[in-house]
A and B are shown apart, each in its own frame.
Chain A
Amino acid sequence: MRVLLHTGKGGVGKTTLALATALAAAEHGHRVCVLSTDPAHSLADALAVPVGPDMKRIADGVWAREVRAQTELDRAWTPVQAWLRALIREDADALVAEELLAFPGIEELMALRAVREAEASGAFDTCVVDCAPTGSTMRLLRFPDALRIFMTQFFEIERRGARVLRPVVRGLGGGGLVPEEEFFDAFERLYEEIDDVQRILLDGERTSARLVVNPTRVVVDETRRSFAYLSLYGVATDAVLVNRLLPEVAAGGYFKSWRAREEEELAEIERSFPVPIRRVSLRAREVIGVSALAALGQDLFGEQDPAERLHTGRPLRIRRAGGRMRLEIDLPGISKEEIDVVVKGADLHLRVRDGRRSIHLPDSLVGRDVERVRLREPTLEISFADG
């Protein structure tokens, strides 16, 4: 199954282009599912038909589903939920408690599980994900790492601690305050599931990110950083989709000078991203409903199958250049001061702004000194000394 992640700054048209992509992929014979993982779902608004937490057929070969944390909790998370409820009910009133069950990170968690479910069902060839705006998507991508830190460093301590404390606290009237064993079991299962998903997301043959932008400066600035974070976390971006260009017919009169500004931003977009750029114009009316969305998909991809990899470069590459082994990573929009590289043993720790990743070095590079770190926009080159 191919996974196409659509992300970008809020309001650029992620949902619209995700649906347009899904409909175009179905035209090529794929069985497609669209998952909305943005807690502020807008699939239903864009399709003008209700879409719920279960897969719903929206066109020939296309199904859609909104992943809702609350519903998923109700379905699969009884032990965890029971404990949280006991915890929260202590203080908050009943109405608020229901809302509070959606603890931080839960949306990211449920979104990742939904991708795995779609894969496991075997019912789809392509999974189009309509992600939340940039900030949450980055959280989604780093979630498996956060969970790993938790599992490897805290989990066993907590489990052992709970075993010891459970009878004591119960004796003091603390009831369900210490989580039961089933809670820890559920957590372990979850960890394994999330690990599966991460394998899917980091495999460039299976997963591609598509960044949606509008031709305005603030949007382009943010999207460049998104591209860099995606590279850092190991997700391959295979295209940038430019939405809402002013069409030729509207570029005169009042909007004459707007067009010139757009041209500048378009040039900037071409310069910034080392992947194919696809463009689509603003319509004379809102793009709502299957037929309008399909027409947009046609404009965006023409004869090409949108489920194909549009760019096969990898975000992280090791190559030999000038007799040296070199590790390369594409980081558009990032300045040298925002990057930090440290090699410790077999791991290379790379920090980009507030993001961080440990890259396990191949045997051929372990033990070699880093000779030079150079940023040749947009690519960071880390050269190793000959061993």
Chain B
Amino acid sequence: MRLLLYTGKGGVGKTTTAAATAACAAARGERVLVVSADAAHSLGDVLGERLGPEPTVVAPGFEACEVDARYVIETHWGRVRTYLVNLLRHQGIDEIVAEELALLPGADELATLVSVEDFAASGRYDLIVVDCAPTGSTLRLVTLPEVAHGGMRWLLRLQRAAAHVAEPIARGLVGVPLPKADVFAEAERLLFETLGSLRARLLSDETSVRIVVTPESMVIDEARRALTDLALFELGVDAVVLNRMLPAEALEEDFFRDWGRVQAERRAEVASVFAPLPILEAPLAEDEVRGAAALAEHGARLFGERSPSARLGGGIGLRFERGESGGWLRLPMAGRDATGLDVTRVDDELVIGVAGRRRRIALPAGFSALEVERVSMEDASLVVAFGSAAPPGGGAR
């Protein structure tokens, strides 16, 4: 089983690219499912099909669905829901509906995770492609198993404490029934087992993230930040899709001459930000790519000889580590030594100057109070050490 997550800033063409990847893989004989995880679903619009939370067959070997938090709560959270219904009935409130639970923050992300893991574990697919919500939410998606895990462990400890000591007292004082063991068992199964195995899956070689960009500076800046976030959570990126490139014929038009120059600069910038990842280019098309057949063609043009589900590249290898008082950044840079490297911190970015070119790396929030202390090369990797006390003379090396 292979799991591909497509991410990127809003409007770059994630949905089209994810659907094209799935359609193309299906045309090559794989059993494929494409899942839309963006609360503002447009997968159905792109496929020209009305989709629901259960997979719909759109072509042979090609299925698609749109995650719906309400549906997941209804189908997966029977006991937890029953408990809440009882709790609220106790409070004099008639009924609680799944819709209200689905409104709570995090419900969409949780629903996506549970759905994806269920589909992945079903054995029905060779490839699952997830069309993620715009960048910010995607990150939340991959961190949620961790948060839920922490929260769950807390709840379970609380429950254990409560069950033995506090339950009888609490029932009297709080005036409501506390959840029984079966409620916790269900929550535990869902959060520990389902999310635990999804987390293992996300961190394994089975899963790759693909970043979709367009030749616009806002989009590339956003992707640079995403790269840092993905490194932080140790998710592997295997390729970048550079979408909506104006074709050569278009650039011959007078009006677009300036766009042509800008586009060439942006192409170079994308190459430098994501080196050594492979960059797949797709042209801006006159018509939006819609429907399974057109999507499969679009995918074939994008991937050429490659298999869309293959591991296309080996990752960037960017790593962040954090110790008691400082932190480290590691970035593989074969064939370089520390001399001639110019490493400076500018606001929340680290700027690495190599042979007259600058590579910018967004720093994680946890590094915001730290300054660059030392720059060295170890095992063909650039190592930047950060410390809490700024050395005399300011931040830079």
Contacts and interface: CB of A to CB of B under 8 A. Distances in A.
A123 interface: no
A168 interface: yes
B364 interface: yes
A254 B253 contact: yes
A250 B253 contact: yes
Given A95-B232, A98-B366, A153-B93, A10 B134 contact: yes
**Dominant secondary structure of chain B at its interface with chain A:** helix
Interface stretch (A184-192, A213-221, A234-242, A290-298): A213-221
B45 to A, nearest CB: 5
A165 B365 CA distance: 34
A286 B217 contact: yes
Interface string B1-19: 0000000011110010000
Contacts of A132: 10, 134, 136
A10 B11 contact: yes
A222 B42 contact: yes
B366 A103 contact: no
A165 B170 contact: yes
Interface residues of A, number: 82
Contact of B255 (A136, A225, A250): A250
Contact of A42 (B12, B162, B222, B286): B222
A99 B365 contact: yes
Contact of B250 (A38, A50, A255): A255
> Which residue, of B11, B170, B225, has the highest number of chain A Cβ atoms within 10 A?
B11
B258 A169 contact: no
Contact of A168 (B68, B104, B162): B162
Contacts of B140: 102, 104
B367 to A, nearest CB: 8
B54 interface: no
A285 B258 contact: yes
A9 B96 CA distance: 32
B256 A70 contact: no
Shortest beta-carbon contacts, A-B, top 8: A10-B10, A11-B11, A105-B105, A10-B11, A104-B106, A95-B322, A135-B39, A250-B255
21 contacts: A11-B11, A11-B12, A45-B218, A87-B154, A91-B153, A92-B150, A99-B232, A100-B143, A102-B140, A103-B147, A105-B104, A132-B136, A138-B39, A139-B105, A153-B96, A164-B166, A174-B161, A222-B40, A254-B253, A284-B259, A288-B217
Given A153-B91, A174-B158, 5 more contacts: A104-B106, A136-B137, A161-B176, A177-B157, A218-B290
